[in-house]
A and B are shown apart, each in its own frame.
Chain A
Amino acid sequence: MQQAIRLLLPILGCLALLVAACSPPTAPEPTPMPPPEATPAPQPAVTPEPGVPPAEVPTPEPDPATEAERLAEPAGPVRDTLILSMGQDPDTLHPAIGLMLARAEVLFAVFTYPIVNDHRGEWMAVGVEEVPTIENGGARWVGEGDNRHLEVTFTVREGVVWHDGTPTTSADIQYAWELVMDPDFPATARTQPLKVFAIETPDDRTAVVRYMSASQAREAAENGHMGLEPEFWMEFQDQQEPLTDPEYFLPPLLSQGLWLPEHVLSDIPPDEHEGSEWARAPLGNGPYRFVQWIPDEAIRLQAVDDYFLGGPYTRNIVFRIIPDASAQLAALHAGEIDVATQVQGPNVGISPELDRLDGYEPHYIPGTAWEHIDLNLEDPILEDQDVRKALVMAMDREQIVEQLLYGNSRVAHSWVQPSIPALSWAYDEDCLVTYQHDPAGVQRLLEQTGYTRDGNGLFQRDGQPLRLRLVTTDAPLRQNVAQVLQQQLRQVGIDLELDFLPGPAFFGREGPVLRGQFQLGMYTWISTPDPDATSLYHSRSIPTAENNWVGQNFPRYANPQVDELLARGANELEIDRRQPIYCEAQQLWTDELPVIPLFQNPIVMVARDTLENFRPTPTLTPETWNIWAWFIED
């Protein structure tokens, strides 16, 4: 008997350990370290191409009067601590390393950003005096012909001070850019920074960013620049136009352009930043100073005295890390946290729960993120436009929004979303071909292209059933949406098979959408509030084996007319010139339907209903952008 136990116990023990190790926690789906599922953060970027007419730069909306919507001010004593919950621990607090949305919330409290995107989706100057544009002279063209280039001037606002008392200067902008351009620094996205030739600092408060002229771009493609290899400038080998960027009005650093304290960081060699203590305990210049980071548990911040914008009214901010969605919900119910951010990513499936919370208000912000299905136009079945239209008509997208999103969103019809004020000029229903759920229409279209129903009610042609495969990630909401779509299609007679992949496998370098090994691919795009779609739907952006799989045009959409429109739209200056361009482009696109737009992904946040000045944004700017003004009256 004892022998039996001796043999059995280790086996049972190992089995138990295996089971324990293998059973996944029902956690917020495993977020590939950075972008949480909902928001694989792709932002359409313009790649200037040779042969395009004069590269004029797209202008952002002019600065809104920031006083237009006054922030409330406390009338009496306020609570001294606010607790926010996050779904995961940031990988680092160094602003220039990695790409992580969880980090942005903390960074916006610790740093003052030069320019932010506010709750209307408008660009607003905070750390600098104004958003430099062509109109206000902040950005201007200099030089002629091959030497013509863009110069953007940033003026640091008075009163922006690092937490050790040193004022923030233009040297900090220059340093941040030079750091990112250093070959030994593990930067992850140099797309905008590498278009800059140099940054000059004529005085302490002025930084002049000089973008590359055509000749400088060609030179860099030949010999590199600032020590980086020429391969970075590969696409500019034959550049004829000066280099520009759709976000030229932001300092050229990722994370919406941020400066770094030169007086502290220049002592650290670029390759040692990643593991440095500073990356775990940054010196900022924002309304809150860093106090402590208990790994995987909490990050604590404390208010500075006298922030130049006023406040901060709340003394302490704590970010608590609660990875499990149910535990986060329980914490809300128990009143332990004041703001729940990233509430289970895009899974508005718990909306009824959120609506029931006492003392809290859920915020569903229709963002720039939109869920969609890419249709692989190189697939023999899908290259037929009628089949694509039949597909969208077979789907009941309204039902999905009602049932799975509890009505907290709306069906999307284009890559431009309607509800962002800063983008409203680019969205017009008259410019779109929209589709309704129409089973009769499906029948008509499919019969037109030679499909007939077989004995089981499924469509088939030449003995081959109409069977398609949808690939997507294993995020809970996506699984639900996919299964509903499968049902809807089956009812109409189309057989849809489903494939769920973990996030990294779906988006990775061997992933199905990148490699074109898919028929239907469902995921989310996020964009900045600009309708530019060159990197998504221009034929130059198709990833192929020849170009080493670079590009985001996964449907492999190639329409010369649309190509020309998108390129023009990206380079036009004024809204009234861009508007008809995008109208026509969207008309063609929605008619050809390389992509089936599904719905806008609402950003879901929960905050105490007594929290003042809570203004989440529809873009990648986190809700903490105005955290200096947050308070709860006691």
Chain B
Amino acid sequence: MTTYIIRRTLQMFVLLLLISMLVFGLMQMVPGGPFDHLLADPRVSAWEIDRLNRLIGLDRPLHERYLLWLGSAVRLDWGDSWQIASGVPVGRLISERLPNTLLLMGLSTALSILIALPIGIYSALRKYSWQDYAVTALSFFGISMPVFWFGLMLMIVFAVNLRWLPTSGIATPGLEHDLIDRVRHLIMPVAVLSLVNVAAWSRFMRSSMLEVLAQDYLQTARAKGLRERVVTMRHALPNGLIPIVTILGLDLPVLFSGAVVVETVFAWPGMGRLLIQGINANDWPVVQAIVIITAFLVILGNLIADVLYAVVDPRIRYS
């Protein structure tokens, strides 16, 4: 197991290196630099733009810039933002927005688990009953529903028409420390995010449970005289939960990178919005930092999921 982890970790670094080169190269192909839009103003001469580009090192050859970036990145110095927040270190931009995203994504993940698992189990136990079909239909609805539209619909119903909730933002200006206010602002974005997850994860749970329920050892348990409830909860469920481990592992990077659409619709100052702003503004240091960190978390999440998988299922052994 230890060799396995070590091997995977080494692979991770190689992969990250390759990804960073790929992203760096891709950003090169995007037309325009971070200051080109300034040319729309006749008071800015092309000479000034060249000068500004030189100040941030854009005149150097590609590989040199990459190596410079790599050199600081390994020390976790992601450089300064070129455009979104002139001169502000990228690390600071991220740390300003990360808590907001963690709050949003963490809550919605937790909520999704709490709702999806029971629904999935219930659905599996009542296979092909009308309850099952109802849940299935709702799941399809949830998976197909465009997040953007659903968010706006909630906003219109609850914020505009009923005025029960605020439309957007993380807090009412001046009330940042008021718990009730923060919760009210969280309700809609979390609901929107959870919907998709609940729909998908309840399906996973359902199929996983169905698979386990068909196993022979449960027959043995019933033959021993255990009540159905105990059979389900103590014998079937633990094994049915194993795939959920994989799901959660894959979900790890999303906790960091956030959800662009929800964050934009609900004016949530998070990581998703930061990434989109970076891309639109050709603010490469920001984009690169976020992509690399996200890639790292994807790989890490997969690794953790695989390891946990082996931990919970003794039949699995890596070599």
Interface residues of A (CB under 8 A from B): 1-2, 5-6, 9-10, 13-14, 17, 20-21, 23-27, 30-35, 40-45, 81, 83, 88-89, 91-92, 94, 97-99, 186-192, 231-232, 234, 254, 273-276, 279-280, 294-298, 300, 316, 318, 320-324, 326-327, 330-331, 333-334, 336, 502-505, 507-511, 514, 535-536, 548-550, 552
Give complex CA distance A187, B38 in Å.
Answer: 12
- Nearest CB of chain B from residue A117's CB, rounded to whole Å: 16
- Nearest CB of chain B from residue A359's CB, rounded to whole Å: 13
Give complex CA distance A34, B43 in Å.
Answer: 15
- Tell me whether A334 and B43 are in contact in the complex, defined as CB-CB below 8 angstroms, given that A2-B242, A186-B55, A296-B273 are known contacts: no
* Interface pair B246/A5, CB less than 8 Å apart: yes
Interface residues of B (CB under 8 A from A): 31-49, 52, 55, 80, 83-89, 93, 96-97, 148, 152, 155-156, 159-160, 163, 166-171, 173-174, 176, 204, 207-208, 211, 242-243, 246-247, 250-251, 253-254, 257, 259-261, 264-267, 269, 273-277, 280-283, 298, 302
- Tell me whether A43 and B42 are in contact in the complex, defined as CB-CB below 8 angstroms, given that A23-B261, A92-B85, A274-B87 are known contacts: yes
Tell which of B46, B49, B173, B267 touches A323, judged by Cβ atoms closer than 8 Å.
B267
Residues on A with C-beta less than 8 A from B43 are: 43, 45, 189, 191-192, 254
- Which of B34, B43, B52, B246 has most chain A Cβ within 10 Å? B43
- Nearest CB of chain A from residue B22's CB, rounded to whole Å: 14
* Interface pair B152/A330, CB less than 8 Å apart: yes
Residues on A with C-beta less than 8 A from B247 are: 9
- Tell me whether A25 and B276 are in contact in the complex, defined as CB-CB below 8 angstroms, given that A188-B52, A510-B32 are known contacts: yes
Give complex CA distance A86, B260 in Å.
Answer: 19
* Interface pair B155/A330, CB less than 8 Å apart: yes
- Which of A42, A232, A508 has most chain B Cβ within 10 Å? A508
Give complex CA distance A300, B166 in Å.
Answer: 19
Give complex CA distance A23, B274 in Å.
Answer: 15
Give complex CA distance A231, B7 in Å.
Answer: 56
Question: Closest residue of chain B to A232, judged by CB?
Answer: B47
- Which of A32, A232, A548 has most chain B Cβ within 10 Å? A32
Give complex CA distance A14, B250 in Å.
Answer: 9
Supplied contacts A9-B243, A34-B37, A279-B87, 10 more A-B pairs, CB within 8 Å: A9-B247, A9-B250, A10-B250, A25-B276, A40-B37, A91-B86, A295-B269, A297-B169, A327-B152, A503-B37
Give complex CA distance A333, B155 in Å.
Answer: 11
- Nearest CB of chain B from residue A445's CB, rounded to whole Å: 33
- Nearest CB of chain A from residue B168's CB, rounded to whole Å: 5
Q: Ordered nearest first, which 10 A-B pairs have the shortest CB separation? A: A274-B87, A296-B269, A275-B87, A508-B36, A40-B40, A508-B32, A30-B280, A32-B37, A25-B264, A13-B250
Residues on B with C-beta less than 8 A from A511 are: 32, 36, 39
Secondary structure of the A contact surface, majority rule:
loop
Question: Closest residue of chain B to A322, judged by CB?
Answer: B267
- Tell me whether A327 and B265 are in contact in the complex, defined as CB-CB below 8 angstroms, given that A336-B166, A505-B31 are known contacts: yes
- Nearest CB of chain B from residue A27's CB, rounded to whole Å: 5
Give complex CA distance A514, B32 in Å.
Answer: 13
Give complex CA distance A30, B159 in Å.
Answer: 26
| 9 A-B pairs whose Cβ atoms sit less than 8 Å apart in the complex | A44-B42, A91-B85, A188-B52, A294-B176, A323-B273, A324-B265, A507-B37, A548-B46, A550-B46
Give complex CA distance A504, B166 in Å.
Answer: 34
- Tell me whether A298 and B173 are in contact in the complex, defined as CB-CB below 8 angstroms, given that A535-B42, A550-B46 are known contacts: yes
Give complex CA distance A25, B267 in Å.
Answer: 12
Give complex CA distance A64, B277 in Å.
Answer: 42
Residues on A with C-beta less than 8 A from B97 are: 295-296
Residues on A with C-beta less than 8 A from B171 are: 297
- Nearest CB of chain B from residue A449's CB, rounded to whole Å: 34
* Interface pair A41/B36, CB less than 8 Å apart: no
Give complex CA distance A31, B89 in Å.
Answer: 22
* Interface pair A92/B46, CB less than 8 Å apart: no
- Tell me whether A334 and B37 are in contact in the complex, defined as CB-CB below 8 angstroms, given that A45-B42, A92-B85, A295-B269 are known contacts: no
Secondary structure of the B contact surface, majority rule:
helix
Tell which of A273, A508, A536 touches B39, judged by Cβ atoms closer than 8 Å.
A508
- Tell me whether A188 and B35 are in contact in the complex, defined as CB-CB below 8 angstroms, given that A92-B86, A295-B85 are known contacts: yes
- Nearest CB of chain B from residue A108's CB, rounded to whole Å: 19
Question: Closest residue of chain A to B261, judged by CB?
Answer: A25
Question: Closest residue of chain A to B259, judged by CB?
Answer: A20
Give complex CA distance A274, B80 in Å.
Answer: 10
* Interface pair B148/A25, CB less than 8 Å apart: yes
Residues on A with C-beta less than 8 A from B259 are: 20
Residues on A with C-beta less than 8 A from B36 are: 504, 507-509, 511
* Interface pair B204/A5, CB less than 8 Å apart: yes
- Tell me whether A326 and B84 are in contact in the complex, defined as CB-CB below 8 angstroms, given that A9-B246, A10-B250, A41-B41 are known contacts: no
* Interface pair A334/B167, CB less than 8 Å apart: yes
- Nearest CB of chain B from residue A621's CB, rounded to whole Å: 16
* Interface pair B48/A33, CB less than 8 Å apart: no
* Interface pair B48/A188, CB less than 8 Å apart: yes
Give complex CA distance A326, B155 in Å.
Answer: 10
Give complex CA distance A92, B81 in Å.
Answer: 11
Residues on A with C-beta less than 8 A from B282 are: 504
Residues on B with C-beta less than 8 A from A549 are: 46
Question: Closest residue of chain B to A552, judged by CB?
Answer: B42
- Nearest CB of chain B from residue A122's CB, rounded to whole Å: 22
- Nearest CB of chain B from residue A251's CB, rounded to whole Å: 15
Question: Closest residue of chain B to A327, judged by CB?
Answer: B168
* Interface pair A33/B39, CB less than 8 Å apart: no
* Interface pair B37/A504, CB less than 8 Å apart: yes
- Nearest CB of chain B from residue A241's CB, rounded to whole Å: 20
* Interface pair A42/B38, CB less than 8 Å apart: no
- Tell me whether A550 and B45 are in contact in the complex, defined as CB-CB below 8 angstroms, given that A25-B264, A188-B38 are known contacts: yes
Residues on A with C-beta less than 8 A from B88 are: 275, 280
Give complex CA distance A508, B83 in Å.
Answer: 15
Tell which of A13, A88, A334 touches B163, judged by Cβ atoms closer than 8 Å.
A334
Give complex CA distance A330, B188 in Å.
Answer: 14
Residues on A with C-beta less than 8 A from B96 are: 295-296
Residues on A with C-beta less than 8 A from B163 are: 334
* Interface pair A327/B276, CB less than 8 Å apart: no
Residues on A with C-beta less than 8 A from B251 are: 13
- Nearest CB of chain A from residue B76's CB, rounded to whole Å: 18
* Interface pair B280/A31, CB less than 8 Å apart: yes
- Nearest CB of chain B from residue A184's CB, rounded to whole Å: 9
Tell which of A91, A316, A323, A552 touches B84, judged by Cβ atoms closer than 8 Å.
A91
Residues on B with C-beta less than 8 A from A536 are: 42
Residues on A with C-beta less than 8 A from B86 are: 91-92, 94, 97-98, 186, 274-275, 279
- Which of B85, B96, B155, B253 has most chain A Cβ within 10 Å? B85
* Interface pair A510/B31, CB less than 8 Å apart: yes
- Nearest CB of chain A from residue B158's CB, rounded to whole Å: 10
* Interface pair A322/B302, CB less than 8 Å apart: no
Residues on B with C-beta less than 8 A from A91 are: 83-86
- Nearest CB of chain A from residue B132's CB, rounded to whole Å: 19
* Interface pair B85/A190, CB less than 8 Å apart: no
Give complex CA distance A44, B32 in Å.
Answer: 23
Residues on B with C-beta less than 8 A from A548 are: 46-47
Tell which of A231, A316, A504 touches B32, judged by Cβ atoms closer than 8 Å.
A504
Question: Closest residue of chain B to A46, judged by CB?
Answer: B42
- Nearest CB of chain B from residue A278's CB, rounded to whole Å: 11
* Interface pair A330/B168, CB less than 8 Å apart: yes
* Interface pair B159/A334, CB less than 8 Å apart: yes
Residues on A with C-beta less than 8 A from B52 are: 186, 188
Residues on B with C-beta less than 8 A from A189 are: 38, 41, 43-44, 48
Residues on B with C-beta less than 8 A from A1 are: 207, 211
Tell which of A31, A324, A505, A510 touches B267, judged by Cβ atoms closer than 8 Å.
A324
- Nearest CB of chain B from residue A329's CB, rounded to whole Å: 9
Give complex CA distance A629, B107 in Å.
Answer: 43
* Interface pair A33/B155, CB less than 8 Å apart: no
* Interface pair A275/B80, CB less than 8 Å apart: yes
- Nearest CB of chain A from residue B45's CB, rounded to whole Å: 6
* Interface pair B169/A508, CB less than 8 Å apart: no
- Nearest CB of chain B from residue A467's CB, rounded to whole Å: 25
